[in-house]
Amino acid sequence: MHCETPAGIVNPIREICKIGKEHGVITIVDAVASLGGIDVRPDEWGIDLCITGSQKCLSSTPGLTIISVSEEAWEVMEKRKKPIRNSYLSLLDWREAWIRNKRFPHTPLVAEIYGINQAATEILEEGLQNVFDRHAKVAKATRNGIEGMGLKLWPKKKEIASNTVTTFKLPEEVDDVEFIQRMADKYGVLIGGGFRELKGKLVRIGHMGYNATLPNIVATLVAIEKTLTDMGHPVKFGSSINAALPSL
C-alpha cells in the first residue's frame, strides 16, 4: 500500500520493492490514492504490478482499474500450471487480444475509457511535476492549518504524511460522527472519519485530484473552526488560515 488513506501516511514503497526484488519476490503496489498526486515510478522502483483507480487522484469517473505489469510478472503468469483464462481477471487474455487485433477481449466500459483519457490529458497539460507540487502545497497548508487550531496530526512525523489526505485527532470531548455530520449539514463541507481500528480515533480530509486546490482547503479549515466552536470547543476564527498562509 503506497498511501494508507485510513491513516493518512505514505509507505516507502521504493525501498520495500527493492528488498522484494533482492529476494525474488513479485511486488504488488496499491497506488489508488497516490498515483496522479504523488510521484510513482513502477519501472524505476521495481514495481511488478502497480494498481490504481480512475476516480481518485486521476479525477475521472469511478469504474476502471488501471494496472502496469512488469516483464517478470508476465513471466510468472505465463508459467502458472493453470493460468487464469477466459475471464475479466485474466491479464493474459487482455494482453493477447490487444496485441493480436488492438481490441479488448470483453465488452469495454467505453464511456469510462474516454473519461480516463481526458483526465490523463488534463494532467499532462498541467505537467506532472506541477501536479505533484500542487498536491504538496495543498497538503502542507492543510497540515499547518490543522496544527494552527491546536489540533494534533495523526502521523507521528510529517515526513510520512500523505500529500493526498490529511488525518488528525479531534479533541477528546468532540464526537467524530456528530462533528462530521454537523459540518456537512451546516457548512456544506464533507470530510471522512476513521476506518476499522481507527474508527473514532481520527478524521480525514481528502485533497487529491481536482479537489487539491487552496480555495477548497481554506473553506474546509474554516468549516472545521466553526464546527468545533459550535460544539463547545472554541477556536479563534482564522487561526488555521494564519497558520496555513506561509504555505499558500
**Mean pLDDT score, 213-242:** 93
Q: Is residue 79 domain-shared with residue 150, that is, in the same domain?
A: no
Quickly count: other Cβ atoms within 10 Å of residue 111's Cβ: 10
Which residues, in sequence order, are bridge partners of residue 203? Answer: 168, 193
What is the spatial distance between Cα 235 and Cα 146, in angstroms, rounded to a whole number?
11
Q: Is residue 101 domain-shared with residue 157, that is, in the same domain?
A: no
**Mean pLDDT score, 210-237:** 94
Q: Write the pLDDT tens digit of every residue in 60-82.
A: 999 999 999 999 999 999 999 99
pLDDT at 143 over 90: yes
What is the spatial distance between Cα 83 and Cα 168, in angstroms, rounded to a whole number?
45
pLDDT at 223 over 90: yes
Band (248; pLDDT cuts 50, 70, 90): low
Answer with the one of 71, 96, 126 that is the final residue of a domain: 126
Q: Is residue 171 domain-shared with residue 135, that is, in the same domain?
A: yes
C-alpha dihedral sign at 182, 187, 190, 193: negative
Angle subtended at Cα 145 by Cα 185 and Cα 168, rounded to the nearest 5 degrees: 70
**Lowest mean pLDDT: which of 119-123, 144-148, 235-239?**
235-239
* Those residues with Cβ within 8 angstroms of residue 42's Cβ, 6 or more apart along the chain or in another chain: 29, 50, 68, 70
What is the spatial distance between Cα 151 and Cα 149, in angstroms, rounded to a whole number?
6
pLDDT at 99 over 80: yes
Residue linked to cell 479533541? 171
Query: What does the block give as the cell for 114?
Result: 474516454
Please give the backbone phi and psi of residue 63, each rounded to the nearest 5 degrees, phi first.
140, -15
Number of domains within the chain: 2
238, 242, 247, 248: CA torsion to nearest 10: 60
Q: Write the pLDDT tens digit of every residue in 194-214.
A: 988 999 999 999 999 999 999
Q: Which CATH number does the domain housing residue 37 bear?
A: 3.40.640.10
pLDDT over 70 percentage in the chain: 99
**Lowest mean pLDDT: which of 19-28, 99-108, 123-132, 135-144?**
99-108
What is the spatial distance between Cα 157 and Cα 7, in angstroms, rounded to a whole number?
12
The pTM (predicted TM-score) of the whole model is: 0.93
Q: What is the pLDDT of residue 236?
A: 86
Q: Is residue 33 domain-shared with residue 87, that is, in the same domain?
A: yes
Query: What does the block give as the cell for 125?
Result: 497539460
Band (247; pLDDT cuts 50, 70, 90): low
Answer with the one of 126, 147, 162 that is the final residue of a domain: 126
Q: What is the pLDDT of residue 97?
A: 94
What is the spatial distance between Cα 83 and Cα 76, in angstroms, rounded to a whole number?
10
Q: Is residue 150 domain-shared with residue 221, that is, in the same domain?
A: yes
Q: Is residue 133 domain-shared with residue 111, that is, in the same domain?
A: no
**Mean pLDDT score, 180-201:** 95
Domain that holds residue 29: 3-126
Q: What is the pLDDT of residue 215?
A: 93
Residue linked to cell 508459467? 79
What is the spatial distance between Cα 224 and Cα 183, in angstroms, rounded to a whole number?
7
pLDDT, averaged across the chain: 94
Q: What is the pLDDT of residue 204?
A: 97
